[in-house]
Amino acid sequence: MKRKKWYKLEDVEKLSVQERIDLTVDYVNPGMSKLFKILGFDRIWAVSAEGMYINLQNGRKILDMTGGNCVLGLGHNHPKILACRKKIAEEKRLELCKSFLSPYTAVLSANMANLLPGDLQYSFFCGSGAEAVEGALKLAQKHHGLQRNGIVYTDHSFHGKTHAAMSVSSMDDTRHNFQSLGHCYQVPYGDAQALEAFFRSRCSKETGKPDICAFILEVIHGTRLIFPPKGYLKEVREFCVKYDVLLIVDEIYTGFGRTGYWFAFEEENIIPDIVCYSKTFGGGKASIAGYTTRVPVFMKAYGRTDDSMIHSSTFSGMSEECATAIEAMNIMKDENLVEISRKLGKYLGQRLLALSEKYPGSIKDVRGRGLLWGVELKPMLYKMEPTIKKLFPSKASFLPVLTGVVALTELFHSYDILAYLGFTRRNLIVFSPSLIIEKEELDKAVDAIDKVLSSGWLTLGKKFISRYI
Ligand SMILES: Cc1ncc(COP(=O)(O)O)c(C=O)c1O
């Protein structure tokens, strides 16, 4: 039943724990509240966050190893980001006006052209990663004169939850049986020959070209940490050129130093036709995403004045958001965060790999690049998994999920470490800390996993259950 209460901003901080829960259940999402309860996170909230740490209302200080799922490359509330936003506000800059050209958008775009290789030059900015993907897909169709509309994606991909982005995302867990758009075709990830065979199969006799405008790819499939074989990207680039198909690289998760490069595609020295990015781009404060595209691609699609406004959005180019992104990129450069990610990432990888040797019965795999690493756990009672799958096929994922949740909650509740689980691989514990992390903090997080695994699943399971009784 609806309450008849109108809140003021100052009421927010005064809410009791129960009021926060009740309002969420009644007005946001009751199912989501239950999930938070299972994790023991529903009665906890953050009063502030700074750098690598989140300060809870109960006085605990949590080491944030999530980096806001790759949003917080610069850490929480970086002082230069706060100062930049304060300056824009105090100077009462024109925030949003569609009647004049925006110098902030222009400079941000120029900087992105400078940062990216080759003739990647024209940028479009928007509010979310999925929106950047939508823009890139439309650009690809327009580039091909709306004559070749097919889009190819891989069976290990996540590009967002809006309709088109969902339609080129592989995971059933993301699609949830929603009807996807037509003209979207799936190929196996990491198999360039299969991609070429698919392009060939779609070629028309008249033009010799496929009815495909773009191939969209995550260089590293971020949410499950899956890496392609060496050389894949180079081959993909060649086949896209051969068949005149645009290569869209989605760096929303992996961009801005996360993998030890500014962008993960740089490891193979290729130049995509369109790059999508977001997350750390906004310095942890601005909701900003974007794409940058090569000159001939942009000019063919939107170069004519008549076509120049075909794709836009209301909040595209907000001054404060663009200014924040300009500042964020400068901080990345000034603080050498890409090099730090590569160096510290190597150390983190070594330490986690040593753990996998120590606990071969508990760890299935350790993998990562830069400051993006995952520890895939063997599901508890994994020897019983085949039997469970046979007896309860619909509950087949139960043990991996339980394993991930038990380990994650133990890290948080007993060791003050916040990590997260792979998006559709829940027994994968992911660390993607801010790039400002210190070596000692990495040690603290790895030592905590060590202690968790040394406890044994029986003890951990009992502790997990006792938190709810
Ligand atoms: C690779 C990738 N693409 C697209 C998206 C969608 O971004 P958003 O959630 O901002 O729409 C995500 C989000 O995590 C992502 O990881």
Q: DSSP per residue over 56-117, as a string?
A: ETTS-EEEE-SHHHHT-TT-BT-HHHHHHHHHHHHTT-----SSS--HHHHHHHHHHHHHSS
* Whole-model pTM over 0.85: yes
- How do the domains of the chain map onto residue ranges? 44-77+337-466, 79-334
- Best probe residue, ligand 1, of 251, 253, 275 (max atoms within 8 Å of C-beta): 253
- Confidence (pLDDT) at 368: 97
- Confidence (pLDDT) at 469: 64
φ, ψ (nearest 5 deg) of residue 153 = -140, 175
* Interatomic CA distance for residues 215 and 151, integer angstroms: 6
Which residues, including other chains, have CB under 8 Å from residue 103's CB and lie 6 or more apart?
none
**CATH number of this structure's domain 79-334:** 3.40.640.10
pLDDT in tens, 388-436: 677 666 666 788 888 999 999 999 999 999 999 998 788 999 999 999 9
Report the atom number in ligand 1 closest to the C-alpha of 131: 11
Q: DSSP per residue over 320-346, as a string?
A: HHHHHHHHHHHHHHHTTHHHHHHHHHH
pLDDT in tens, 309-324: 999 999 888 899 999 9
The yes-or-no verdict on residue 468 having pLDDT over 80 is no
Q: Locate tokens 């490891």: which residue? A: 267
Q: Which residues line ligand 1 (CB under 6 A)?
A: 128-130, 133, 158-160, 218, 222-223, 250, 252-253, 278, 289
**CATH T-level assignment (fold) for domain 44-77+337-466:** Aspartate Aminotransferase, domain 1 (3.90.1150)
